[in-house]
Amino acid sequence: MIYAVGIGTIDVEVFNGKQWIASVLNDVLYVPEFGSSCLFSLGAAAARGYRIMMDNFNIRLMMNNRTELVGYKDGDLYTLLIRRLSDNTSMSAMLTEGETHSFELWHQRLGHISVEKIKTMMQRKLVDGLRATAEEKFFCEGCVFGSMTRKPHKEVTERRQSVPGEIIHADVCGPFIHSSVGGNRYFNCFKDESSGYRKVYFMKTKDEVLRCLKTALTEIKQETRRDLQRIRTDRGAEFANRELDNFLTEKKIVHEKSPPYTPQCNGMADRENRKFVEKARAMLHTRNLPRCLWAEAVHTAAYLLNRIPNRKEITKTPYEEWFGRRPTVEHLRIFGCDAYVHIPDQHRRKFDPKARKVIFVSYGPSNKMFRVFDTNKHRVDEVTDVQFNESLQKRLVLIDGEEDSWMQTADKDEDDFLEDDITYDKTEKRGPGPPPGSINKINVISNPLKMEVRSKSTERTAMLAAADPLTEEEALEGANAEKWKEAMLEEISALHMNNTWTLTDLPADRKTIQFRYESVRTLLAIAADEDLEILQFDVKTAFLHGKIDELIFMEQPPCFNDGSG
């Protein structure tokens, strides 16, 4: 017995008898045992309003008296002319509900958490949309570079009973050597004691702590319907000042300060800073992203940690404790993966690309909004019309800078846990440095670029040297097998639609003419290599039913023989 392991949506192209058009197949069952083959339910199509017309040669699906999809009879079955969009297309299909992915993919989507924690989230159904395949072993280099190197301080404060929004712990981390895209060098973390829910705000200077606190209080009131009662901090100058004390007194909020030289007394916030930095380091290193994106990585780390249980015995995520509803992870994508943002018609000309390539760096206010880094404009935008390519391979854009330690602060006395940050070897090859301005530029390293050019040149040379396949077996076993198959399907469909032949037995005194496919791809390859322009046109099906002077008998097309001879 064969079972489907998921259900989702597939972007495809269908042939309507004249041309290939983009379409979407909904409610597609994923059955790994079928491989690349698929079955199409005519009953389901009829239930959706399609009219189905069949004869002994062809099949046609119509909607509102218009042909939407055609096919031909192949033995006892009908083959519909449907092809899936190429995997390397710039607009990869969005993942949909019900799809199952590897533990490695979820490991990166969830900010490099352990497989055991992913299993716990699945077993206890702590989030919606989390489905993973059977356990597999994998090595994550980002985790090696991002893992802690010192044991955490033992928390000496006694945990008090509270409800979300009543008691928070706060701490500041920074300054970081590299400014973020927005020019920030610090982040301010607030963690709720009851739920473990985190809020992170970014600052250019420590003087902005009060602004961050006011924003946090407003959001806490809106989200929990409660007024903050206590805040615990260390005795840093950003928290121990008259302006902040006066504000807290006015709001009737108790300010608890840890004793001097005992950061472990504010261990909850101190450990959060450590977690953020380690996860940000792992995510940036895994995708080889520039250091100016550290703030986006920290924001993503906080976003993900709020959707992951704090401890193994916890039965709810911080998000559910805070908002009272279970979160979904269906919209999560791998930090740093390629993304493609739709360009509105008003901002492009007729033959301009309909999308621009960016880098996914974080999440927006809603599940349908994402933050992306535009490497050309050197800015971070919030977008909704975006699709992703979550290839697990590393990027070719490398990190560069004058300092070796790429996730550390300038003041190590203030944040001593960063002093053990992983540093790069000075002999490691890096890309060119960033340009002047508010952020660091991304440049492609020179050597891989040259290698890529040589690779393309070699590929074109090989294409020129190789002749077209002489048989259908060669065509369907070669490097361009999928393209040959698509061309064959399109041609055979046109022949069927025009009733070009009549299937009959071969008379004893007659001989057959063989069927051959022709191609102009070699000429196109030569033109591409020589940078020539080609002017061409094609009148489809122009000669498929022309009049001839005598009766001829042809063999059935290779690979489309119905078995009758």
For residue 230, pLDDT over 90 is answered with: yes
| The pLDDT of residue 550 | 73
| The pLDDT of residue 189 | 94
For residue 59, pLDDT over 70 is answered with: yes
Confidence of residue 190 (pLDDT cuts 50, 70, 90): very high
Confidence of residue 76 (pLDDT cuts 50, 70, 90): confident
| One-letter amino acid of 259 | P
Torsion region of 333: left, alpha or beta (phi above 0 gives left; psi -120 to 50 gives alpha): beta
| One-letter amino acid of 314 | I
Q: What is d(CA 192, CA 228) in angstroms, rounded to the nearest whole number?
A: 10
| One-letter amino acid of 376 | N
Q: Could you give the residue range(s) of every CATH 3.30.420.10 domain in the chain?
A: 153-323
| The pLDDT of residue 564 | 60
What pLDDT digit, counting tens, does each position of 369-405 carry?
999 999 888 999 999 999 999 876 655 444 344 333 4
Q: Which residue has the tokens 């279970």?
A: 326
Instruction: Calculate mean pLDDT across residues 84-102.
Output: 48
Say which residues have a Cβ less than 8 Å from residue 53's Cβ, sequence separation at least 6: 59, 60, 61, 62
- Least confident range from 146-155, 156-165, 280-289, 413-422: namely 413-422
Confidence of residue 553 (pLDDT cuts 50, 70, 90): confident
For residue 224, pLDDT over 70 is answered with: yes
Q: What is d(CA 199, CA 299) in angstroms, rounded to the nearest whole number?
A: 9
Q: What percent of the chain has pLDDT over 70?
A: 67
Higher pLDDT among residues 38 and 232, named by residue: 232
- Least confident range from 100-109, 196-205, 210-219, 332-341: namely 100-109
| The pLDDT of residue 133 | 64
- Give 534: exposed, middle or buried? Use CB within 10 Å, 0-12, 13-18, 19+: exposed
- The answer to whether 373 and 293 have CB atoms below 8 angstroms apart is yes
For residue 183, pLDDT over 90 is answered with: yes
> How far from 455 is each of 430, 449, 460, 527, CA to CA, in Å?
21, 10, 9, 18
The 3-class SS string of 93-138 reads CCCCCCCCECHHHHHHHCCCCCHHHHHHHHHCCCCECCCECCCCCC
| The pLDDT of residue 428 | 34
Q: Which helix (H) or strand (E) holds 182?
A: none
| Backbone φ, ψ for residue 63 (5° rounding) | -140, 125
Q: Which helix (H) or strand (E) holds 230?
A: strand 230-233
Tokens of 100: 């199952």
In the three-class reduction of DSSP (H, G, I as helix; E, B as strand; rest coil), residue 476 is classed as helix
Instruction: Calculate mean pLDDT across residues 332-361.
Output: 92
For residue 364, pLDDT over 60 is answered with: yes
| The pLDDT of residue 462 | 41
Compute the mean pLDDT over every residue in the chain, rounded to the nearest whole number. Answer: 74
Q: What percent of the chain has pLDDT over 90?
A: 28
- Find out if CATH 3.30.420.10 is the number for domain 153-323: yes
Instruction: Calculate mean pLDDT across residues 535-558.
Output: 67
| The pLDDT of residue 281 | 92
Instruction: Calculate mean pLDDT across residues 62-82.
Output: 83
- The answer to whether 553 and 513 have CB atoms below 8 angstroms apart is yes
Highest mean pLDDT among 59-63, 392-396, 457-461: 59-63
> How far from 249 is each of 302, 488, 523, CA to CA, in Å?
29, 79, 80
* Residues, the chain: 565
| The pLDDT of residue 336 | 93
| Backbone φ, ψ for residue 529 (5° rounding) | -70, -35
> How far from 63 is each of 50, 57, 69, 103, CA to CA, in Å?
5, 20, 9, 42
> Whole-model pTM above 0.75?
no
Chain-centroid distance, C-alpha 550: 59
